[in-house]
Structure 1
């Protein structure tokens, strides 16, 4: 008797992800996705002590003389003290470290690990609850305004943060895929599910996209792709070390 094949376990809250990134975006859904991801992928659920306090955020506002968008406050209160979710590669700034690029009018909240890139919110957008995020690569000579559009909402940007930082969280569970001239290998495109995140630039490459399949998340950066497994068994299946699968 042939054993019925079980559907792949994505180990992701796709309902919350879809609601956070859909036509009527729900920023609370972004936090639900991040909470579920922390529980299932980091080994430790988010708790009350994992975020900055309202008093710390109020002090940052007073120091900067600028309002912090509601969604940025929510994010820092939710996971601002969980470097395993936010700081494996790049750095999410604490409230006392937030600063303004005064020449270009951008509040900076995240910095690449070698200070080669910065993420922020334009000062003119700080009155929005969930404003767009911009990025600046510090690999070329600065111009009058070298900040470029990145993701359309802070809430979606923090989903990207936890996914991207998870790729670097455990070297034993991560690896690389080298796409050919036409893109990802056929066995990946045929089996992996495209996640409902918009394409966005990363490492000066346009159009990064996310996929998932059987406890694997994968980011395709158009030229290289990085993946992370949730468990050793999932890594072995994906990497071809499981002879039965």
Structure 2
């Protein structure tokens, strides 16, 4: 299915240029089913007992059924509520702040719980989509507020206090006009293919949406330093209840023969001890993973593959990433192209 005539009409407006850009960063193209129908808009307004602000109505006509929670929570057709004359647009994930829209075509929004410079509803929607897209790229889940991110989108977090590099980033990337969510004092920086947040703080979040943009960020932040610290993840999926029970102790911790393999776990553990250290584990109901910090990621992946591939086959994924890049490169099985951390 393609876009509807109404979606095509709305996307021609300069108001929705930021949304067009964000859609390009996501894997799935916009489709008619992603937007609310006129009958659904009418039903929502009847439930609320008031007309929707003009921009919010258009927003829902475009992507009302496509919105997803990443960090903060967008209002969806079934969750939008009214308080007096105001309609809820977006909520911080711990309810620290709420963004409300008063009546009007594109009104100045009301931020409950924190202070922020005044901005219109369309400006806030652009800024919050930008924020949650950046979070999805920088944390490695490969999901933004409009779904799965495009395979060319990369991101990460860099600890940085070098004033020379910070000055170079500010010189290379101009300020963006979209409002930043509360908690952030420094404005967005970037260009049409790059987004940076947090310059002047201890950690910088970055996102690059093309290989060329990645190369430019890498040239300033040295995203993959030779011999730098890396993280290896070992993930096993589709565990049945018996397997899930066998891979962990009664107290819930992972067994050594699950981490290091059933054949010779002591030998594998000794070999890996020279390569790095276990950093964290996650135990799901039908899957589990553990993470290993190392300066030799390729060799570490080889050791884990030799120890575990025979036991788990295609249910096993072994991948690694440089510390400053959130996305994993798959080492096993070799034909698997991508891996994202389970959400």
Runs of 4+ deviating beyond 6 Å: 181-184
Contact 1:88 1:169 in 2 (8 A): yes
C-alpha spacing 1:221/1:241, structure 2 compared with 1 (3 Å): closer
Instruction: Show the 5 A alignment for 1:1-245.
Output: 28-39=13-24, 41-83=25-67, 87-102=69-84, 106-122=86-102, 126=103, 128-137=104-113, 148=115, 151-170=118-137, 171-172=139-140, 173-178=154-159, 180=161, 185-197=166-178, 200=180, 202-203=182-183, 205=184, 207-213=185-191, 215-220=193-198, 223=201, 224-231=203-210, 234-235=213-214, 237-238=217-218, 239-241=221-223
Q: For residues 102-129 of structure 1, what are the alpha-carbon distances to aligned partners after superposition, in whole Å with 9 as ceiling and x for unaligned? A: 5xx532121122222211113xxx0x21
On the 8 A contact 1:214/1:234 being kept in 2, the answer is no
| CA offset digits 1:76-111 (Å, max 9, x no partner) | 11122223xx52211212223211235xx5321211
The answer to whether the 8 Å contact 1:118/1:135 transfers is yes
Q: Structure 1: 5+ residue runs without aligned partners?
A: 1-26, 138-146
User: How big is the alpha-carbon RMSD for the aligned residues of Structure 1 and Structure 2?
Assistant: 3.2
- In 1, Cα distance between equivalents of 2:55 and 2:69: 19
Distance 1:76 1:92 in 2: 11
**Number of paired residues?**
197
Question: Residue 134 of structure 1 contacts residue 149 of structure 1 at CA under 8 Å; is this kept in 2?
Answer: no
Greater relative contact order (CA < 8 Å, ≥ 6 in sequence): 1
Note closer, same or farther for the CA distance 1:49–1:229 as it changes in structure 2 (3 Å cut): same
Q: What do the CA deviations read for 1:3-50 (whole angstroms, capped 9, x no partner)?
A: xxxxxxxxxxxxxxxxxxxxxxxx9213133113312x1122322221
SS of the aligned residue for 1:227 comes to strand
Q: What is the TM-score with the length of structure 2 in the denominator?
A: 0.50
1:147-195 deviation line (CA, Å, top 9, x unaligned): 7555421111111122111112233432234565979811201211222
Which whole-Å CA distance do the structure 2 matches of 1:78 and 1:226 have between them? 28
Q: CA 1:63–1:183 in structure 2 vs 1: closer, same or farther (change >3 Å)?
A: farther
Match of 1:9 in 2: none
Whole-Å Cα distance in 2 between the matches of residues 180 and 161 of structure 1? 26
Rounded to whole Å, the distance in 2 between the matches of 1:37 and 1:52 is 19
Aligned equivalents of 1:217 and 1:112: distance in 2? Answer: 21
Per the alignment, residue 3 of structure 1 pairs with none
